[in-house]
Structure 1
Amino acid sequence: MPTTPTKPVRSRRRPLALAAAVATAATVGATALAMAGATSAAAAEVPLSGYELTWGIKQSYRTYVTGFAAGTFTATDGASQATGNGAFTFTEGTGTYDSTAHTLALGFKGALKIESKLHGFEISLSDVKFDSAAAEITADVTKSGTTTQDVPLADVTVTRAMTDMATTLTKEAADVFGSASYEGAAGDPLTVVQKTQSQSPSPSASASTSSTPSPSASASTSASASASASATPSASASPTQSASPSATTEAPAAGDIADGTLGWGVKESFRTYVVDGVAKGEITTSGGATQASDNGIFTFVKATGAYDTDADTLSAAFEGAVTFKGHEENGEYGLDLTLSDLKATLDEGTGELTADVTSLGEKSEDVVLADLKASKSDLTASDDVITVDDIAATLTEAGAKAFGGFYTTGTELDPVDLAVALTDDATLPGDDDSDEDDTTSSPSASTTASGTTGGTTGSTTGGVTGGLAATGSDVPVAALGTAAAVTVAAGAGVVFAMRRRRTEA
């Protein structure tokens, strides 16, 4: 039964630096004075209306909710979500501008429900507010039947334009969304704009297009434009082929591959789950493979195989391996998955991606993980290098089994990038986004804090609160133990074979 709404125990109000306040007020002042009309010059607060706030919380969190948690976001009462699991927009913002302190405070209409039956959580956000003086976003949060008012979710770096403002998630946000790693982490950018009757087709930093100056840098900045600003960076880390005219290749039309790289991230939401989710795990690369910074994609190297540019066929095998570990208990892992010996084939634009899959010590060779589909069927060489980027990869039935049946056949995986050299002296495209250091014996840079990441916000003796911590039951993942049936990885919905507890003789 819902309890009486409460206020946060401690106040997080803090004075905004004068420079930031002045910067914000520079554009707000004109509108505020215009709206004040004939009111007394002594009045400090001027009413504001017609604002919209767009914020995506954190892209990886949205991916987690709709992916591993098999959950949903439901925006109501005037709120909306951008297509493609994008950012959220809250509308009909009203508030006041303080012409003395040169700050503004706005409250917005709309509610957002975040729910996962699989992981057993339901969170509701409402009464979203932005305060430039406190430089923060707050909301009323309802979870486990209890509503807490004005919970500070993010600190905001206030800018003059109030578009794409950087946000930093708070400790309270980490508690709400169920991942301790969120405290101090970068959230999605925040945009606060006043919607005017004039809808220019393109944003402009000038307010001269409207008879009434607007506090925002652009009266026409839409929610969808803001949502796109928070979209996930492309999973591709391999540079595209040079736009310069291709040189006549000296390599034959068909022959052996001399070298090459394959760039692939497996699936971004899976990487996020392992490092930032309840797995509290780590990702390591070995055998020459590397991982891009910020928990990015993987690059596999030293390609061997054959090609035929006349027949538009290619078959390449790559060195390197990537290992995902999580759900550690007493030195053993409930999730221990290694992909190695990756191979890619293309035949007139379609093909397969295979790998040797080792799960909890059991190895299956040449598992067809994904069907591949390139944007074009022909293979052409430039400077003795064939480059094919952004190859669509969809999970096969065998691949779905490799991931324990959580991902269904046909699920979209991260795209694949291929670059193969046809001669020994050909120069492969550089990979500026990859880590240069060998990560064979240590986690990637993004996983060095894996021991402290994760989503368990309750104790191991009781239930856990909602968000990333929930497993679909009231028991923390860590408490399941390695002798549990086959679902130690259920916090992500991925089901791997459990390592049976060894019995002592």
Structure 2
Amino acid sequence: MPVRRRRSTALAAAVATAAALGATALATLGGATTASAAESPLSDYELTWGIKQSYRTYVGMFGSFTASEGATQAAGNGAFTFTDGTGTYDTTAHTVDLGFKGRLVSASAAHHFEVTLTDVRFDSGAGEITADVTAVDTSGATPVKKGDDVPLATVDVTREMTGMATTLTTEAGEYLGSADYAGAAGDPLTVAKKTQPSTEPTTGPSGEPSTEPSTEPTDPEPTDPDPTDPDPTDPAPTDPEPTAPETTPGPQDPSPTASTSASPSVPASAAPTKGEIVDGTLGWGVKESFRSYVVGNIAKGKVTVSGGATQAAGNGAFTFKDATGTYDTDADKLTATFEGAVNFKGHESGGEYGLDLTLSNLKATLDGGTGTLSADVNSLGARTEGVVLADLKAESGDLRAAENVITVDGIAATVTEAGAEVFGNYPAGTALDAVDLSVALSDDARLPDGDGTGTTGGAGGSGGSTGGGTGSAGGAASTIGGTGTTTGGSIGGGSLASTGSDIPGPALGVAAGVAVVAGAGAVFAVRKRRTGAQPAE
């Protein structure tokens, strides 16, 4: 059970006042004489908070989160939930002080950091989230940084305690590795009593089914301090998930194509079991965290599609069109090449980009349910054709045509060794967004409506242009990319590298912590000599 270390400011002041001014009089009255008489015990609460979406994206790019000992993380690199919250409710001030179980570790072997949060606490009177924090530079270059009850964020407390706005503190920036976090908006916070399953239905005062567990109906629910509301009702929030953070879009469905339901009844001649592909679409988001990284406050870049490719709204997945190739449903084989390109730019400095990556001419192959996804890659001006980016594995190896259309959705994709060189920070075997493809086998076949929403830009107005997308960053940038990224056979690596001081990570104060990843060293070594840039302090 978490040990309570600190009381709320308001409650501490009340205790001090009572002790100094009223202790004798209260003793004379012979009643309950301590300030603690105004407190009621609380138990079985949950706290859900994502810290900051861009921080989760950063860690997901370069490392991983591990939640244990009562803490969990939502799917898709989502928010964290800490459980078994216990504490007190001040029935006079209407404030709560709760401590939660759970251990959260964010770590990156490549960038030499490990940050651990334990004993997470929420104090509505003080309006803050605290935790015990340990930050380690795993390279050993800087000492371990530890702190108890470190204030991580201030909270705009609301009566319902759901979706409360948070603001990160200076201390949060120090421990998470980015001074820019100080004063920045954090993810929304929700504190709610865990709803217990009940075998017998219960009813509330209005006769409606109660969401509170029937075995513990008397736990008071805290509210904002409000002297005009001496008897707060129990709002019993039932949704512990926070609302979407800031203006950053939530994870998008990486599948821009439609479902596999049969197309509307249209006359179509029967296609042979093998032959030429007439048309088709491929839906793929590359990787949701990569898209977020490019347009987020680290790379501060944009995503641009061209050549007939489209991107779903909200910095979503991409659709590539006009497929050509061959199929053989008897042998369960398919090879399809798709038109369209997508360009990722970021880390701009003086008109040059540290990240300028274009993928085009995507090609998917399947043979008995397994295959590959390849593309022509242009990174910082260095172009390589037919790079196998991902290994594919479909749920079924059976290729079947319906209405002269073969549709295979949800194909698992994992990064290959060559793809790891292209993306720089994803080790081989890392899961990418799933792939959806549909190909038409005859001229009169109708493909599912899967060409997105018509928007081509990334989040926050970072894209929108359908022109260009060649991957060229201009003469100087292309030259640097050409000389720096082909060394040792690297295919334009370093796409995700950054030397900006806004990159989180305690180790960034030393050379080992600078974000130089596979294939990127030469690029940034050249750039440092030209600009005089130094590692972030």
**TM-score, with length taken from structure 2:** 0.65
Instruction: Report what 1:125 is aligned to.
Output: 117
Of structures 1 and 2, the larger Rg is shown by: 2
Instruction: Report what 1:348 is aligned to.
Output: 368
**2:126 corresponds to 1:106:** no
Instruction: Report what 1:69 is aligned to.
Output: 62
For 2:175 and 2:88, the matched residues in 1 are separated by 28
Task: Report the RMSD for the aligned CA atoms in angstroms.
Answer: 4.8
- Aligned with residue 355 of structure 2, among 328, 332, 335: 335
Instruction: Report what 1:495 is aligned to.
Output: 520
For 2:410 and 2:350, the matched residues in 1 are separated by 41
**2:353 corresponds to 1:316:** no
**TM-score, with length taken from structure 1:** 0.68
For 2:506 and 2:401, the matched residues in 1 are separated by 49
- Structure number with greater CO (CA < 8 Å, separation at least 6) is 1
Query: Structure 1 residue 377: deviation in Å?
Result: 1.6
Query: Structure 1 residue 378: deviation in Å?
Result: 1.8
8 Å contact kept, 1:325–1:336: yes
Query: Structure 1 residue 364: deviation in Å?
Result: 0.8
Instruction: Report what 2:212 is aligned to.
Output: 207
SS in 1 for 2:414: strand
Instruction: Report what 1:242 is aligned to.
Output: 261
For 1:419 and 1:430, the matched residues in 2 are separated by 10
Residue type of the partner of 1:388? V
Query: Structure 1 residue 474: deviation in Å?
Result: 5.1
For 1:157 and 1:297, the matched residues in 2 are separated by 36
SS in 1 for 2:348: strand
Query: Structure 1 residue 361: deviation in Å?
Result: 0.9
- Aligned with residue 80 of structure 1, among 71, 74, 80: 71
Query: Structure 1 residue 232: deviation in Å?
Result: 4.9
Instruction: Describe the superposition over 1:276-316 as per-residue Cα deviations: whole angstroms up to 9, x where unpaired.
Output: 26333322221121222333221111222222333322221
Query: Structure 1 residue 438: deviation in Å?
Result: 4.6
Query: Alpha carbons of 1:476 and 1:115: their partners in 2 closer, same or farther (altered >3 Å)?
Result: closer
Query: Alpha carbons of 1:262 and 1:155: their partners in 2 closer, same or farther (altered >3 Å)?
Result: farther
Query: Structure 1 residue 351: deviation in Å?
Result: 1.7
For 1:87 and 1:472, the matched residues in 2 are separated by 28
Q: Unaligned stretches of 5+ in structure 2?
A: 1-5, 11-30, 136-143, 203-208, 222-233, 465-495, 531-537
For 1:74 and 1:375, the matched residues in 2 are separated by 29
For 1:494 and 1:168, the matched residues in 2 are separated by 40
Instruction: Describe the superposition over 1:384-411 as per-residue Cα deviations: whole angstroms up to 9, x where unpaired.
Output: 322211101122233233334x433322
**2:462 corresponds to 1:447:** yes
Instruction: Report what 2:108 is aligned to.
Output: 116
For these two proteins, the number of residue pairs brought into alignment is: 433
Instruction: Describe the superposition over 1:455-495 as per-residue Cα deviations: whole angstroms up to 9, x where unpaired.
Output: 99x9x8xxx58725965835996xxxxxxxxxxx52x6673
Residue type of the partner of 2:523? M
Percent sequence identity is 50
8 Å contact kept, 2:177–2:504: yes
Instruction: Describe the superposition over 1:163-190 as per-residue Cα deviations: whole angstroms up to 9, x where unpaired.
Output: xx43545243667645658976673763
Residue type of the partner of 2:63? A
Instruction: Report what 1:436 is aligned to.
Output: 454
Taking the TM superposition and a 5 Å limit, the aligned residue runs for 1:24-423 are 44-58=38-52, 61-65=55-59, 67-70=60-63, 73=66, 75=68, 78-82=69-73, 87-100=79-92, 102-131=94-123, 137-139=129-131, 145=145, 147=147, 149=149, 151-153=151-153, 155=155, 160=160, 165-166=162-163, 168-172=165-169, 177=176, 180=180, 187=187, 190=190, 192-194=192-194, 206-207=211-212, 209-210=214-215, 212-213=217-218, 232-242=251-261, 249-253=268-272, 254-276=274-296, 278-404=298-424, 406-423=425-442
For 1:187 and 1:308, the matched residues in 2 are separated by 50
For 2:71 and 2:328, the matched residues in 1 are separated by 50
Query: Alpha carbons of 1:429 and 1:101: their partners in 2 closer, same or farther (altered >3 Å)?
Result: farther
8 Å contact kept, 2:166–2:188: no
SS in 2 for 1:190: strand
Residue type of the partner of 2:271? P
Instruction: Describe the superposition over 1:340-373 as per-residue Cα deviations: whole angstroms up to 9, x where unpaired.
Output: 1001112222222110011121111111212211
**2:504 corresponds to 1:467:** yes
Q: Unaligned stretches of 5+ in structure 1?
A: 1-6, 14-37, 478-488
Query: Alpha carbons of 1:114 and 1:308: their partners in 2 closer, same or farther (altered >3 Å)?
Result: closer
Residue type of the partner of 1:95? G
Instruction: Report what 2:491 is aligned to.
Output: none
Instruction: Describe the superposition over 1:137-167 as per-residue Cα deviations: whole angstroms up to 9, x where unpaired.
Output: 444556573648563536478575x6xx435
For 2:275 and 2:300, the matched residues in 1 are separated by 46
8 Å contact kept, 2:46–2:194: yes
For 2:276 and 2:201, the matched residues in 1 are separated by 51
Instruction: Describe the superposition over 1:327-351 as per-residue Cα deviations: whole angstroms up to 9, x where unpaired.
Output: 3232222222111100111222222
SS in 2 for 1:269: helix
Query: Alpha carbons of 1:402 and 1:123: their partners in 2 closer, same or farther (altered >3 Å)?
Result: closer
Query: Structure 1 residue 274: deviation in Å?
Result: 2.3
Query: Structure 1 residue 435: deviation in Å?
Result: 4.4
Residue type of the partner of 1:166? G
SS in 1 for 2:61: coil
Query: Alpha carbons of 1:233 and 1:320: their partners in 2 closer, same or farther (altered >3 Å)?
Result: closer
Query: Structure 1 residue 201: deviation in Å?
Result: 12
For 1:201 and 1:62, the matched residues in 2 are separated by 40
For 2:9 and 2:294, the matched residues in 1 are separated by 32
Residue type of the partner of 1:90? F
For 2:399 and 2:330, the matched residues in 1 are separated by 8
For 1:423 and 1:157, the matched residues in 2 are separated by 61
